[in-house]
Amino acid sequence: MKTRFAAILAASSLALGAALPAGGQSFDSRAPFAYLKDIGADIVLYSDGADEPMPPASMAKMMTVLVAFDQIDKGRLALDDTCTVRPDTWRQWSNQGSTMFLKVNSEPTVEQLLDGIVTASGNDASVVLAECIAGTVPAFADAMNSMGEEIGLTGSNFATANGWPDENEYVTAHDLARIAEATIEQHPDLYERFYTLDEFTYGETMSGEPITQSNRNPILGRVQGADGLKTGHTEAAGYGFTGSAERDGRRLVMVIAGLQSQSDRRDEATRFMEWGFNAFEGVQIEPGKIIAAAPVFGGAESEVGLTLPEGASITVPAAITSGVEARIVYESPLPAPLAAGDQVGELHIKAGSLPEQVVPVVAAESVDEAGFFSRAFAGILGLLG
C-alpha cells in the first residue's frame, strides 16, 4: 500500500550555497494596480490590487497580438498576408488616438500591422488586423475571450481589438501578466521579432517624408534586459504598462496601472523592475546531488537515490543568511521499474516570506524490476506488515 511521504531536509543538503536569505526587501508601489512575477521560477514577487477589474486601455492590444501570433504559428495566417483597410474602418479610426497612419483601401501586410500595433500602438492597425482575421471586431473579440480561457484568465473580458473605452471590457493586472507570459513562452520567436524594435517606419507625411515612430515602452534602454511589452492610457484607466525583462537567466513580468502621468509610469516601471531584480535572486540547485533515498517496491534494488533535474533553480530574497525550509513529497514505496530521470516526486521550498516553490524530484539511477521470486517474497513481506 502506497503512502504519501514527506522528507524534511536541511537547507544545506540542497547545495544552495552559503547565503540563504530569510526575508526580502519591502516595496510599496505607487500604482493602484501592481503585479510582478518571476516566470521562470513561477513565483509572484509582488501583488497589490492585481485581481481587481480595471479598463485595459491599449494593453488590450497584447491579446490582439497574442491571437495573431497563435494564428501564425498554427499556419492559419502568414506575415506576408495582406489586409485591406476598409473605408468604414478608415473613417472611424483615421487619426483617432494612436495611429499607424493607414490609408483608405491600402493593403498593409500582417507583419506591418503587427509592427504598427506593438511599436506605434496603432488603434487603426489593431482594428484592421482584427477584421482581417475574423471579419468583424465582435467576432475577433470572441476569439480574444476564447484565447483568454485557453491561457487561464479569470477576471477579464474583451470587447475591442484596441482597448478603446468600452463598458463591457475589463481586465486585471494578474491577467495582463498572464497574457504577457503566454506570449513570451508560447511564441518566443515572434515575441523577439516584434516586441524588441526601437522604432517603426510606415506611411508618409503630406510632403512625402516617411513617418517613423519610436517604441513607447518606457523601460527600453533604461532597464537592462528590457524587451517588451505594451503601454496603455485612457482617462478612465490612467497610465499603465505591462513590461518584461530578462537578466542573468531570470525573466520578470510586471504590470502597473492607474498612474497619473507618463513620467510617473516611466519612473515607477523602472523602479519596480529594478527592485524585482535587486531584491531577489535566482539560485541554481546542484544537479545530480543525491538529496534523499526512497524505498522501491518490486525492484532489483530496495531503494533509489533522489536528485533534481538539470537547471533546477529557485528564487530567494537577496538578503540575510538563513531561513530556507525544504521537504520532498512522493508516494512511498516507488514502484519498479524506474528509469534515471523519471520524475518521482516534488521538492517544496519555502524561502522567507515568498510563496512556496515546487521543483521536480527525479530518480538518480535506473532500477530494474525484480525477478519473480524476489517480487513474490516482497509481496509476502508486505502482507505480513
Residues with a known catalytic role: 58, 61, 121
- Distances from the Cα of 102 to the Cα of 12, 113, 205, 212, 344, angstroms: 61, 9, 11, 13, 56
Annotated binding site: 230
Would you call 371 helix, strand, or coil by DSSP?
A: coil
User: How far is it, in rounded angstroms, from Cα 38 to Cα 355?
Assistant: 12
User: How far is it, in rounded angstroms, from Cα 15 to Cα 345?
Assistant: 19
Annotated binding site for substrate: 230
- Other Cβ atoms closer than 10 A to 172: 23
User: How far is it, in rounded angstroms, from Cα 106 to Cα 241?
Assistant: 31
Residue 231 neighbours by CB under 8 Å, 6+ apart? 58, 59, 121, 216, 217, 218, 239, 240, 241, 265
Q: Could you tell me where the DSSP H helices lie in 119-261?
A: 123-134, 137-151, 173-186, 188-195
Which region, left, alpha or beta, applies to residue 203 given φ > 0 means left and ψ of -120 to 50 means alpha? left
Residue 349 neighbours by CB under 8 Å, 6+ apart? 14, 314, 324, 325, 326, 356, 357, 358, 359
User: How far is it, in rounded angstroms, from Cα 96 to Cα 90?
Assistant: 10
Q: Please, which residues bridge with residue 171 across strands?
A: 54
